[in-house]
């Protein structure tokens, strides 16, 4: 097994929110920490470099904005090593991926799937040294020979998302003619994080990966600190619970990871969630298939579904579905809609333009330190910049 996974640093920043891409929040960690943990599980040591020129072979190479789950990286590494030739990683096509991929301009379509920015370099061609910086086009749009993207140079290894059934739900035919919605959330996933919608999707993949680790595979011991706990205890309902956790006797918590000092109030329901240290879920609120960051607070009678609340964020008297709430952001009595009544997929900001996300459900994407006042009704896929204050009408003194 090659010992190194080289990550190419480009100085990239998250669209709209402006986070340096390595610090973007994914599953209550930074993207850099998530990459490091995925590599550790596969037996790879990460080294961040400015250029791919002169890297020793064999090795793995990845762009800094690449999100990858441990299961995907392990599957790709195994098949690449067995192949023993230069290869690029991708996802095998499904009808759901074909729909969602429209919102990922950096995904390269090939026969049978889509390729992303993760490579295995087994050998170096005679001309590699002169073009090693041309793995992909850079942020300034300068194109090179793109040697590592050429199918004639790098074989495509397409990995199947084998657990998408977990992301299917029965719904009334008013929402879907087939009576079913199919989301793209998998523990075997890869994507490029360029804009808030991609960051949201990465968090949903990371959530599924964390819950699968706990319920099926069993989490590696090194993951406890990353989950916001010094030591965890397993409960009869399939939870991993840290120290000093308070769960009211009338609350229902199942299949979730609760960090140290988490508080779950009376008659609250928490299912398949990852909740970081110090977070609070007040009485009669529901948190399902969601990520809550350190010291996040979900106030009374909120509904949080398939959403991300980053550290120190606050949600009050609001439904919050298929949405993202940045660090220190607050939403008060807001109604974020997440579905188009005409049945089309939701548009949002991608690469500075309003584009189709390919997602059937996408709510509100709120930047860090932003605030949304009571009474605001937002359309699907809306993005609120960092520090913005959104009112229903002109603010009154």
What pLDDT does 167 receive? 82
What pTM was estimated for this model as a whole?
0.91
Provide, for the chain, the percentages of residues in helix, strand and coil under a 3-state DSSP scheme, each rounded to the nearest 5: 20, 30, 50
What pLDDT does 130 receive? 43
The CATH number that domain 4-200 falls under is 3.90.550
Q: Does domain 222-390 have CATH number 2.160.10?
A: yes
What pLDDT does 172 receive? 85
Query: What tens digit of pLDDT does each residue of 104-127 get?
Result: 999 999 999 999 999 999 987 544
Counting residues of the chain whose pLDDT is more than 90, the rounded percentage is 76
Residues 230-238 have a mean pLDDT of 71
User: Which candidate, 369, 380, 389, places its Cα nearest to that of 17?
Assistant: 369
User: Taking the CB of residue 45, how many other CB atoms lie within 10 A of it?
Assistant: 11
Outline which parts of the chain fall under CATH 2.160.10: 222-390
Sign of CA dihedral 163, 164, 169, 172: negative
What pLDDT does 278 receive? 98
What pLDDT does 72 receive? 97
Would you put residue 221 in left (φ > 0), alpha (ψ -120 to 50) or beta?
alpha
Query: What tens digit of pLDDT does each residue of 348-393 get?
Result: 999 999 999 999 999 999 999 999 999 999 999 999 999 999 998 7
What pLDDT does 238 receive? 87
CA distances from 334 to 159, 326, 348, 371 (A): 40, 16, 19, 10
What pLDDT does 126 receive? 47
Residues 87-97 have a mean pLDDT of 96
């Amino acid at each position: 097994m090659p010992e190194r996974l080289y990550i190419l640093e480009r100085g990239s920043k998250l669209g709209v929110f402006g986070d340096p891409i390595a610090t973007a929040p994914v599953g209550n960690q930074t993207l850099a920490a998530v990459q490091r943990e995925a590599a550790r599980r596969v037996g790879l040591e990460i080294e961040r470099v400015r250029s791919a020129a002169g890297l020793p072979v064999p090795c793995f190479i990845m762009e800094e904005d690449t999100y990858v789950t441990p299961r995907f990286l392990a599957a790709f590494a195994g098949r690449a090593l067995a192949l023993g030739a230069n290869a690029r990683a991708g996802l095998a096509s499904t009808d759901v991926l074909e729909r969602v991929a429209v919102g990922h301009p950096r995904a390269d379509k090939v026969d049978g799937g889509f390729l992303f920015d993760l490579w295995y370099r087994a050998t170096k061609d005679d001309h590699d040294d002169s073009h090693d910086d041309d793995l992909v086009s850079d942020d300034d749009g300068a194109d090179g020979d793109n040697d590592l993207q050429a199918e004639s140079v790098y074989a495509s290894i397409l990995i199947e998302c084998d657990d998408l059934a977990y992301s299917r739900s029965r719904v009334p035919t008013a929402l879907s003619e087939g009576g079913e919605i199919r989301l793209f959330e998998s523990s075997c996933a890869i994507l490029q994080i360029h804009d808030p919608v991609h960051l949201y999707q990465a968090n949903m993949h990371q959530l599924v990966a964390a819950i699968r680790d706990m319920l099926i595979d069993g989490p590696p011991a090194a993951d406890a600190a990353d989950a916001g706990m010094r030591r965890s205890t397993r409960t009869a309902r399939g939870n991993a619970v840290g120290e000093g956790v308070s769960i009211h006797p009338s609350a229902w918590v199942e299949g979730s990871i609760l960090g140290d000092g988490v508080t779950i109030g009376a008659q609250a329901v928490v299912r398949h969630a990852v909740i970081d240290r110090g977070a609070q879920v007040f009485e009669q609120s529901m948190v399902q298939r969601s990520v809550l960051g350190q010291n996040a607070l979900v106030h009374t009678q909120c509904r949080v579904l398939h959403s991300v609340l980053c550290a120190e964020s606050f949600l009050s008297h609001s439904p919050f579905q298929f949405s993202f709430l940045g660090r220190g952001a607050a939403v008060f009595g807001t109604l974020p809609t997440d579905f188009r009544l005409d049945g089309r997929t939701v548009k949002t900001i991608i690469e500075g333009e309003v584009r189709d996300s390919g997602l059937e459900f996408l709510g509100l994407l709120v930047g860090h330190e932003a605030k949304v006042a009571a009474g605001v009704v937002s359309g699907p896929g809306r993005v609120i910049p960092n520090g913005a204050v959104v009112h229903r009408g002109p603010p009154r003194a």
